[in-house]
Structure 1
């Protein structure tokens, strides 16, 4: 960068592969911008790995936490852990280098895993809302209907359906847009196109995000009004309600989890719907920013559990003490 020129985040434009015909154009960002962003993204990934690993280990290690609701939380934490382990590091390089250097096959695998894990989280939240519906609205039937077997079935459906869609639609190379000279998406060497901005992205957003979110919102609206009735019953007749305070607190905490998820992911999916309407004019940089805002959801979930679940904090502390003693003995 010429020191006589005012600072700009973009130093120059070049090619991803200088000696390859049909290479994508590469935007070269200034190190003043790129280095801090690498640091921020790396810290975000580390927080996701350690936070969700703590959730997983805590639930697995204590028999008291082996409940249908916690199995769903455990499975969702695994999805977030995989997102931080396998999806976000390559995404970090693609976002900051503006090129894909990991090959065509891994591009497809990476996109498939990204879609699969996103779909898995949405479906887990939908099943969690059903779990909370029975816990609050039909408490006398909860333990009969929401068994461990039902919870495991929900988990298998979430992962199986999401993987079928995520990997099937990517590796089948399904395309909705017409192949014309005015085609918006041009495949070039060093690029890795996802579903965003394509007409299929609209279908994906409506069917696999907004429709489940509508169901979740509808279910939780009913749960919310029933919860208010139970709170009044507990205040007026402390022993007259069949729903205990722990269930209601868990419902409130999981409602926060869903709310945070919607805040993180809705802007990204709104772009998927709006982009074709405005002629695919939404900048790719905006997609990258919203994608990372969405990824931040995987950081927030363990924090919410730690802040609002006292028993989770207690069990996590016990787990830490056990690990500390084991390490002390080893050395």
Structure 2
């Protein structure tokens, strides 16, 4: 996501003979920035690729929740593979050198992937809600067919919105000087007016965030009540112990996924909020600040594999198997990954 200041231009004279302004950074600084950002998106690519391979390859990890995590890892993988490299050049060189058509394609995918992530997080919250609060209905509700439909909606709706809004330029309607800026500037300016900035903030972040927070509060309230009910019993039967173990797995999974949700909100809220208020500030937000907030949002795709690695023992185990090349043996697909006390 990116919003740039749009001055009132009547001609292209202020841009001179070149569409991009002189880069104020030295060659050494640019080199360090290239190295650091390259390391970030390479780690993002391989970290999320490890999640994709792990869940796709090992049959014991084929669960509704994990398929949603797999789809979200694809989102983070694409963010590192298809978005970050071009954004890196724009940020380091302070110039967009790939043309206006690809600028729109780039920002359409950028906007789409961020919305796909928030939709997946909402879907995962609903999945955990049924698993913990309505366990008897969970198998019949979160079926493979239902998961496929959810994933399709999580991708289709953001794609239609992002490409429709960006290529129609509805987001810039009423912004004075925008057309001239497009013709003259090499900065790939994507500007959200007051209406679309507010719509994006409410529908793309604030609304889903409120829904997810409400769901997880309900989940942890129900989990706490179940724990108290079981603790009041003097002893547990074998079936009750098995039921409690299953509940503990679901609670651990919900806790981990709520941390993933919190990480997304922390990383992307500043950028979405800047998009919301920038039109009301007459597009006076500094370019460097927007760029920094944009990259802070990108870091969420880098952090998610680290969260999974820290909280999910199965991911650490499968990552080790991938590095050792054991997955080249097709019979290794059925190996036991999850122990009795590990969360799904």
Deviation readout 1:71-97 (Å, 9 max, x if unpaired)? 100000001111111111000000111
Deviation readout 1:174-205 (Å, 9 max, x if unpaired)? 24442546x69832231212245765223212
Q: Indicate the residue corresponding to 1:263 in structure 2.
A: 266
Residue 112 in structure 1 maps to residue 115 in structure 2: no
CA distance in 2, matches of 1:216, 1:158: 15
Secondary structure, in 3 states, of the residue corresponding to 1:129?
Answer: helix
Q: Report matched runs for 1:39-58 at 5 Å.
A: 39-58=35-54
CA distance in 1, matches of 2:15, 2:38: 26
Structure 2: any 5+ residue segments left out of the alignment? Answer: 1-12, 330-344
CA distance in 1, matches of 2:109, 2:318: 31
The normalised TM-score by structure 1 is: 0.86
CA distance in 1, matches of 2:85, 2:74: 17
CA distance in 1, matches of 2:313, 2:266: 25
Decide whether the 8 Å contact of 1:199 with 1:276 is kept in 2.
no
Decide whether the 8 Å contact of 2:122 with 2:211 is kept in 1.
yes
Deviation readout 1:231-265 (Å, 9 max, x if unpaired)? 33454445275652111111110011001111101
Q: Indicate the residue corresponding to 1:250 in structure 2.
A: 253
Residue 282 in structure 1 maps to residue 282 in structure 2: no
Q: Aligned in 2, Cα 1:28/1:65: closer, same or farther, shift over 3 Å?
A: same
Decide whether the 8 Å contact of 2:174 with 2:193 is kept in 1.
no
Higher RCO (C-alpha 8 Å, min separation 6): 2
Q: Indicate the residue corresponding to 2:301 in structure 1.
A: 298
CA distance in 1, matches of 2:232, 2:320: 36
Secondary structure, in 3 states, of the residue corresponding to 2:24?
Answer: strand
Paired residues, what number? 309
CA distance in 2, matches of 1:303, 1:314: 14
Structure 1: any 5+ residue segments left out of the alignment? Answer: 1-14, 327-331
Per the TM alignment, residue 104 of structure 1 is displaced from its structure 2 partner at its CA by: 1.3
Per the TM alignment, residue 36 of structure 1 is displaced from its structure 2 partner at its CA by: 1.7
Deviation readout 1:267-314 (Å, 9 max, x if unpaired)? 111111121222222111111001111100011111111111112222
Q: Indicate the residue corresponding to 1:6 in structure 2.
A: none
Decide whether the 8 Å contact of 1:17 with 1:190 is kept in 2.
no
Q: Report matched runs for 1:186-225 at 5 Å.
A: 186-187=181-182, 188-195=184-191, 199-225=195-221
Q: What is the alpha-carbon root mean square deviation over aligned residues?
A: 2.4
Q: Indicate the residue corresponding to 2:340 in structure 1.
A: none
